[in-house]
Structure 1
Amino acid sequence: MDQREVQPGDLIEIFRDDHNHWAVYVGDGNVVHLPEPPGQGGDGIGFVGEAQGLRQQLQDVVGNDNWRVNNLLDGIHPPRPADDIVRDAGLLVYEEMGFNLENVNCEQFATELRYGEPEGQQEVAAAVEVAAFAADLLGNDSD
């Protein structure tokens, strides 16, 4: 994707090997995002702790991965004005906040900035993974 096509306030979806990471484009080649937890392979599964919003160059966050603009909820929620998104994203830089997959994750961080609603797909994936793990444990206990 050509950076010239990205507009302030757009959601950036970054395709990692085993998950997707989300950020908000704030202009001048920069994004604000909730960084991926260390030592978790970036997926955040099971991680609960503190994280800070960071402002970084889009290319530094993306690295060698593919990415796209994905304003995934535009058909459901009207986006907030771009100036408000960028302002509020700036206020969250270095702001300490809890991180857990269900309530505060990078996708919800980004969607709350764009739409005022912290919605996303990651909590659904986590629930499926936990259910599969529990089913596996129950299956192993009956052996």
Structure 2
Amino acid sequence: MTAGFCDDDPKPGDLIEIFHHGYEHWALFEGSGYVIHLAPQGDGRVIGPSTIFSVLGKGAMVKRERLKDIVGVCDYQVNNHLDQKYRPLPVNQILKAAKGKIGEAMPYHVRGRKSEQFVADLRYGVARTKQLLKEPKPGDLIEIFRPGYQHWGLYVGDDHIVHLGLANVDSNAGFFILASSVDTRAVVKRELLAKVVGDSKYEINNYLDNVCRPRLLKKILQSAEEVINQTMEYNSKEWNCEHFVTYLRYGVAHSAQGPPPAISWPQSLPLEPESRDPGTNPFPANPPT
């Protein structure tokens, strides 16, 4: 096998983007062939469509390793993609901060682009990603970073999202109660993205696009519209806000908090009996296309 290829010679403080199959991993170049990066826990195998579900949500540790060891046979590039928007910190300050984090344990999600946020924070002093700078499009999944958990919504246009929330609790704060609950009820809401996000950070995160084909946009939006104001069963492991939006976009429900996808078309959403119109399914009867 041949080693990974890169057009540019990295310099200390540069961001390195590594192209693994199905996702990108990021590292900060220290010099002398070494990088500092946020490495997911596991056996170090390359993650692809066949193994991505097993890595979602696992923890990670900041490591100093040889660039060639973490690149393997993958291509990589120097990608200081935010230099035109943010002034990089002095190199000695970048490297001092990076070395101070070696050995530190952190959350890690391939889908959440944590490795990119980690190195961008070191270079620019603020956690930014290319994904965060994009404007959402109808049908996009929105991941909102709350303290200790993530909330999810489906962008439907006009600055609004459809999401699962508590009926009588402010959407900006109340879902922590749901996230920590084993079994309760929730209501489907259509609300302004800015209202739901509040002071939190968020990103567009269509993380299953590499392994699942999204449904037709008109069907995604129609399905979301049809269940607005409906009461649903809620279970943090089996049916949470992330299950809900992935089901809308892909026709397969998935969450890093729960087991691999178990709910797929043409099953209906878990509506409460009093909210369900007898004899009807809130989604099309045919498999998603």
Q: Which range, TM-score by smaller chain?
A: 0.7 to 0.9
Instruction: Give matches, 1:64-143, under 5 Å.
Output: 64-100=73-109, 105-121=114-130, 123-126=203-206, 129=209, 131=245, 133-137=247-251, 140-141=266-267, 142-143=284-285
| Structure 2 unpaired stretches of 5+ | 1-5, 132-202, 210-241, 252-263, 268-283
Offset from partner CA, 1:81-140 (integer Å, 9 cap, x none):
111111111111111122235767101011101111111146534467575543333863
Match of 1:42 in 2: 47
Give the whole-Å Cα distance in 1 for the aligned partners of 2:76 and 2:103.
24
Classify 1:136/1:96 alpha carbon distance in 2 versus 1 (closer, same or farther; 3 Å).
Answer: closer
1:18 maps to which of 22, 47, 50: 22
Query: CA 1:100–1:16 in structure 2 vs 1: closer, same or farther (change >3 Å)?
Result: closer
Cα-to-partner distance string for 1:18-48 (whole Å, 9 max, x where unaligned): 1111000011110000113538963766722
CA shift in 2, pair 1:30/1:2, >3 Å:
farther
What letter corresponds to residue 42 of structure 1 in structure 2?
Answer: I
RMSD of aligned C-alpha atoms?
A: 2.9
Q: What is the letter of the counterpart of residue 124 of structure 1?
A: I
Normalized per residue, which structure has more helix? 1
| Distance in 2 of aligned mates of 1:18 and 1:67 | 14
Equivalent position SS for 2:21: coil
**Alignment TM-score, normalising by the size of structure 1:** 0.81
The normalised TM-score by structure 2 is 0.43
Aligned residues: 142
Identity value in percent: 30
Distance 2:207 2:21 in 1: 20
Which runs of 5 or more residues in structure 1 are unaligned?
A: none
Highest RCO, 1 vs 2 (Cα 8 Å, sep ≥ 6): 1
> What code does the residue aligned with 2:266 have?
N
When residues 37 and 94 of structure 1 are mapped into structure 2, their CA distance, relative to the original with a 3 A threshold, is same
Q: Name whichever of 5-14 and 125-134 sits farther off.
A: 125-134
Distance 1:83 1:128, change over 3 A: same
Largest Rg, 1 or 2: 2
Residue identity opposite 2:64 in structure 1: R
Say if 1:9 and 1:25, in contact at 8 Å, map to a contact too. yes
